[in-house]
Amino acid sequence: MSRGIHLALHPYGVGGPGQHGLWKDPRVAKNASIDIGYYIRQAQAAEHALFDALFIVDSQFINATYPAHYLNRLEPLTLLSAVATHTRHIGLVGTASSTYNSPFNLARRFASLDLISGGRAGWNVVTSFDTGTSRNFGLDEHLDYATRYGRALEFVQVARGLWDSYEDDAFPADVERGVFLDPRRLHALDHVGEHFRVAGPLNVSRSPQGQPVIFQAGVSAEGRDLAARVAEGVYAPGGTLEQAREYYADVKRRAAAHGRDPEHLKVFLHGGPVVAATDARARRREREIFEEDNDFDRNLALLGRSFGAYDFGVHDLDAPFPDVAHLAEKGGRTGAAQIIRRAREQELTLRQVVESVAAFRESPFVGSPTTVADTIEEWFAAGTLDGINLAFRTDDDLELFVDGVVPLLRERGLFRTAYEADTLRGHLGLPVPANRHTRVRERAGG
Amino acid sequence: MSRGIHLALHPYGVGGPGQHGLWKDPRVAKNASIDIGYYIRQAQAAEHALFDALFIVDSQFINATYPAHYLNRLEPLTLLSAVATHTRHIGLVGTASSTYNSPFNLARRFASLDLISGGRAGWNVVTSFDTGTSRNFGLDEHLDYATRYGRALEFVQVARGLWDSYEDDAFPADVERGVFLDPRRLHALDHVGEHFRVAGPLNVSRSPQGQPVIFQAGVSAEGRDLAARVAEGVYAPGGTLEQAREYYADVKRRAAAHGRDPEHLKVFLHGGPVVAATDARARRREREIFEEDNDFDRNLALLGRSFGAYDFGVHDLDAPFPDVAHLAEKGGRTGAAQIIRRAREQELTLRQVVESVAAFRESPFVGSPTTVADTIEEWFAAGTLDGINLAFRTDDDLELFVDGVVPLLRERGLFRTAYEADTLRGHLGLPVPANRHTRVRERAGG
């Protein structure tokens, strides 16, 4: 089933960038984003459905106009560690910034989660999108784009080096010989690079999956290249089927160009499926959800987020879109640059830009269970995805998908009927990376 | 019972600075220090005995001669988060370095643990003892002693500021008025200090105990002063009853001098009780344990640890103790300075220094259950401790204490018969700190 579709669950908590009004739903606990019980139940539901992973997003910056999703929430590794001991199979993927962490500490925390979960940890590497984050870490400004990506690459390389500190046979714990540790199986890293100097060794040994799985969301050329070089799962930007196919082929090609097996880079599309008894009802519900979330002030704040938490509220809404080109240039904000280009070409006011950015768009995975299963199958066959990162507004929506769509995917041989492994690597069909020191020794010996 | 004795459990895992040979004991799992099940069972046993807290030590540096205790172990917050959802009352105190973390990230992780545990988190603030740690974080050398302590003080102040980001009524989540967040109840910190600039706000709200409890181990004048200024629990260096009484009086006096209620700084002694049916058998067992752990190479490495992971192995064991005064001066190593002084006064060789540092010393809490209970009562009455941080070699030893000594302490009114609270602050008789912003508003209003 490693050739089937991989499914991950992305629990929302309360509200989010696209779920502004969700907290008003009586089925959603107002404190869900800080309630560990909520996350444990979500993980157990996903595990019951045999999903590959639970995926936790993050940001280290908020302000009062921010999406409720990020406002008040548990730190991902603390969260996932608590979830780990209440689940047995499902992968646990947490988001953490390579810009605002140190490799030794973060490598250690993911290694700990990997041991606590028996080999189910995954790290979604982000370079931190929100500019304001820098001010929580003593910097007036984000590191520039190229530096952030260079740092991310080296960070992952250092983490992987630290994760190999202990070979699997490092602790003979041989009472007769009086040997607890075999010091020849413990290795310092002595990394000296452009961004980091880290001696090691790490004081955590390897898990049953060897090392945590690396995820990344690469959109720009730098992002795609980072994913192609080090990621084992990548969150694709989505769009139309044609755009998704282009992206899929591009990152697989880039992975191969780096000498990797493209099969070892799994592409996940984001999907917020809306399932109902009929297609018409599902489409109606999709529109209702859009209206529930649609709020001009929220949309204005979200537009500002693309420009580095810029406050567009200081401008006249009905004057031409303001000159904010300097914000788009800073930090290589490709989305912001596109918005400026369109505003100029179409001579839009600020209000018109806000409305066009937040305009209703139909999403692909909406319809009756059969329609949604058909669409997933079509997109999978078209070479757009290896997996889908699924987000649902309520437990009812999750249930409609799990009870309606998943059985159809199973019937068609597209999704597992039982867990074939206990590790995240196992679910994704990724090999356990050999310890670099063991490999060198074995080569030398053979 | 907040005037009774507080008991914390410090689980060893496998081996430790004073438990070198423990891994050979067939009752101890060889992988205990990376087995989350071990820690969950320890926490549950301690909770069953109504202990105040579980205490997890840490270090971010190892080498092959290091105590097994630190060699391979779970990161404390990841560990405690997993333990949190398998316990309901016991406090969860984790060690983390103020030298090798950033305040925003660490404050957030402790705030998350505090929410996940329902108000049971404690942070043992360390400035990182082991010199080699710096090389895992891009620095050749530790920050100097005064800088480390200045940074620790400011770090705690920043963390406490961040923990007050949300007032308790920040989320009205009022569907009728359409108000999820009340932005007037969310506060940036805008801290600009000598060591840190942190804007905030933190994206985690307060727990039922308001803020995590701050612990510290203050030995030197700087350490005692830091404890007196910001700690709510302090790990005392121990020694004789007279030394412990002097320390207790000193830190309480220092706390009062800083305008604090000395009752709000709880002094914990470290105790590794040895309990047996008779005093003679307990003393014999104490001696046996010493012999099991006594190993010249280990003792040589431990001596080196006091001098900054210095390798004394390069010196002639039978020559006069080498001139390492420069190592003792660096970073204000008071223990190392004492060793040098004694070696000089008594004209000791390196071998003799190693043997004298590691010499057998009787510890106070050894004997039959009655003797140990008597000693604890005596030390408590003498004003040496508010609590004891208990370490046991095996589950059998824990059981001997819990079944033999604890009931006697209860009979004498010295230890609780039921939990009177669900938070760590509640167990320790510490007040919930009012949110600074709420306090200011209420003062202004009144």
Residue B391: exposure state from Cβ atoms within 10 A (0-12, 13-18, ≥19): buried
Residues of B in contact with A75 (CB under 8 A): 105, 108-109, 111-112, 204
Residue A134 token pair:
């820098």
What is the structure's pLDDT at A67? 65
Which comes out higher in pLDDT, residue A21 or A161? Answer: A161
Confidence of residue B169 (pLDDT cuts 50, 70, 90): very high
H and E: helices and strands count for chain A: 17, 12
CB contact under 8 A, B180 and A86: no
What is the structure's pLDDT at A444? 86
Residues of B in contact with A212 (CB under 8 A): none
Question: Phi then psi for B207, rounded to 5 degrees?
Answer: -95, 175
* Helix residue ranges, H only, A117-206: 145-163
What is the number of other CB atoms lying within 10 angstroms of the CB of residue B437? 17
Confidence of residue B22 (pLDDT cuts 50, 70, 90): confident
Give, to the nearest 10 degrees, the angle between helix B221-230 and helix B241-257: 50
Residue A58: exposure state from Cβ atoms within 10 A (0-12, 13-18, ≥19): buried
Residues of B in contact with A85 (CB under 8 A): 36, 40, 82, 85-86
What is the rounded CA–CA span in Å between residue A344 and residue A320? 9
What is the structure's pLDDT at A111? 98
Q: Check pLDDT > 70 for residue A26.
A: yes
What is the structure's pLDDT at B1? 43
Decide: B393 and B22 in contact? Cβ < 8 Å. Answer: yes
pTM of the model: 0.95
Interface mutation vs chain A, best among B35, B40, B186, B203, most A CBs within 10 Å: B203
Residue in the structure block whose two tokens are 């757009």: A384
Q: Check pLDDT > 50 for residue B2.
A: no
CB contact under 8 A, A64 and B181: yes
Beta-strand runs (E) in A143-251? 191-192, 197-198, 213-216, 233-235
CB contact under 8 A, A203 and B70: yes
Decide: B55 and B389 in contact? Cβ < 8 Å. Answer: yes
Task: For residue A100, say whether it is annotated as part of any ligand binding site.
Answer: no
**Which of B159, B77, B45, B80 is closest to B392 using CA atoms?**
B45
The DSSP call for residue B403 is I
Q: CA of B115: which chain A residue's CA is closest?
A: A34
What is the rounded CA–CA span in Å between residue B109 and residue A86? 20
Residue A202 token pair:
């790490």
Decide: B26 and B80 in contact? Cβ < 8 Å. Answer: no
Interface mutation vs chain B, best among A115, A117, A135, A136, most B CBs within 10 Å: A136
Tell me the residue type at A28. V
The DSSP call for residue A228 is H
Decide: A151 and A98 in contact? Cβ < 8 Å. Answer: yes
β A266-271/A233-235 pair status: parallel
CB contact under 8 A, A77 and B109: yes
Task: For residue A207, say whether it is annotated as part of any ligand binding site.
Answer: no
User: What's the mean per-residue pLDDT of chain A?
Assistant: 92
What is the structure's pLDDT at A386? 98
A195-212 CB burial, b ≥16 within 10 A, e <16: bbbbbbbbbbbbbbbbbb
Decide: B92 and B113 in contact? Cβ < 8 Å. Answer: yes
Confidence of residue B14 (pLDDT cuts 50, 70, 90): confident
CB contact under 8 A, B203 and A23: no
Q: Check pLDDT > 60 for residue A18.
A: no
What is the rounded CA–CA span in Å between residue A207 and residue B31? 12
Query: What is the rounded average pLDDT of the residues A204-216?
Result: 97
Compute the count of residue pairs across chains A and B with CB atoms less than 8 Å apart.
181
Query: What is the rounded average pLDDT of the residues A253-279?
Result: 96
Give residue-wise pLDDT tens across range B127-144.
Answer: 987 778 999 999 887 778
> Which residues, 6 or more positions from A130, have their beta carbon under 8 angstroms from its beta carbon?
A59, A60, A61, A305, A308, A309
Query: What is the rounded average pLDDT of the residues B240-260?
Result: 97
Decide: B85 and B116 in contact? Cβ < 8 Å. Answer: yes
What is the structure's pLDDT at A168? 95
> Which residues, 6 or more positions from A445, have their beta carbon under 8 angstroms from its beta carbon?
none
Nearest neighbour of B85 by CB, restricted to A61, A82, A132:
A82
What is the structure's pLDDT at A77? 98
Confidence of residue B307 (pLDDT cuts 50, 70, 90): confident
**Which of A284, A389, A66, A330 is closest to B183 using CA atoms?**
A66
Q: Is the peptide bond before A201 cis (omega within 30 degrees of 0)?
A: yes
Q: Check pLDDT > 60 for residue B17.
A: no
CB contact under 8 A, B72 and A203: yes
Decide: A267 and A234 in contact? Cβ < 8 Å. Answer: yes
> Across the strands, what pairs with B235?
B268
**Which of A403, A375, A397, A396 is closest to A274 using CA atoms?**
A397
Give residue-wise pLDDT tens across range A39-60.
Answer: 999 999 999 999 999 999 998 9
What is the number of other CB atoms lying within 10 angstroms of the CB of residue A404? 18
Query: What is the rounded average pLDDT of the residues A21-29?
Result: 87
Phi-psi region of A201 (alpha: psi -120 to 50; beta: other; left: phi over 0): beta
What is the structure's pLDDT at B51? 98
Q: Is A99 on the interface with B (CB under 8 A)?
A: no
Q: Is B31 on the interface with A (CB under 8 A)?
A: yes
Dump the DSSP string for B85-120. TT-SS-EEEEEEESSSS-HHHHHHHHHHHHHHTTS-
Give residue-wise pLDDT tens across range B91-125.
Answer: 999 999 999 999 999 999 999 999 999 999 999 99
> Which residues, 6 or more positions from A34, have their beta carbon under 8 angstroms from its beta carbon?
A13, A72, A73, A74, B115, B204, B205
What is the structure's pLDDT at B145? 80
Give residue-wise pLDDT tens across range B176-226.
Answer: 998 889 999 999 999 999 999 999 999 999 999 999 999 999 888 889 999
Q: Check pLDDT > 90 for residue A1.
A: no
**ipTM for the whole complex:** 0.95
Decide: A298 and A355 in contact? Cβ < 8 Å. Answer: no
Range from A92-96, A135-139, A229-233, B242-246 carrying the lowest mean pLDDT: A135-139
Q: Check pLDDT > 60 for residue A17.
A: no
Decide: A10 and A389 in contact? Cβ < 8 Å. Answer: yes
CB contact under 8 A, A23 and B196: no
Residue B381: exposure state from Cβ atoms within 10 A (0-12, 13-18, ≥19): exposed
What is the number of other CB atoms lying within 10 angstroms of the CB of residue B112? 28
Nearest neighbour of B68 by CB, restricted to A77, A181, A204:
A181
Query: What is the rounded average pLDDT of the residues B310-328?
Result: 91
β B191-192/B197-198 pair status: antiparallel
What is the number of other CB atoms lying within 10 angstroms of the CB of residue A422? 15
Domains and CATH numbers, chain B: 6-279+364-442 (3.20.20.30), 295-357 (no CATH)
Residue A418: exposure state from Cβ atoms within 10 A (0-12, 13-18, ≥19): exposed
Residue B344 token pair:
């000089």
Give the CA radius of gyration of chain A.
23
Query: What is the rounded average pLDDT of the residues A301-308?
Result: 84
Interface mutation vs chain B, best among A56, A75, A99, A171, most B CBs within 10 Å: A75
> Which residues, 6 or more positions from A405, have their beta carbon under 8 angstroms from its beta carbon?
A273, A275, A369, A372, A373, A376
What is the rounded CA–CA span in Å between residue A173 and residue B84? 30
Q: Check pLDDT > 70 for residue A2.
A: no
The distance of B59 to chain A (nearest Cα, Å) reads 9
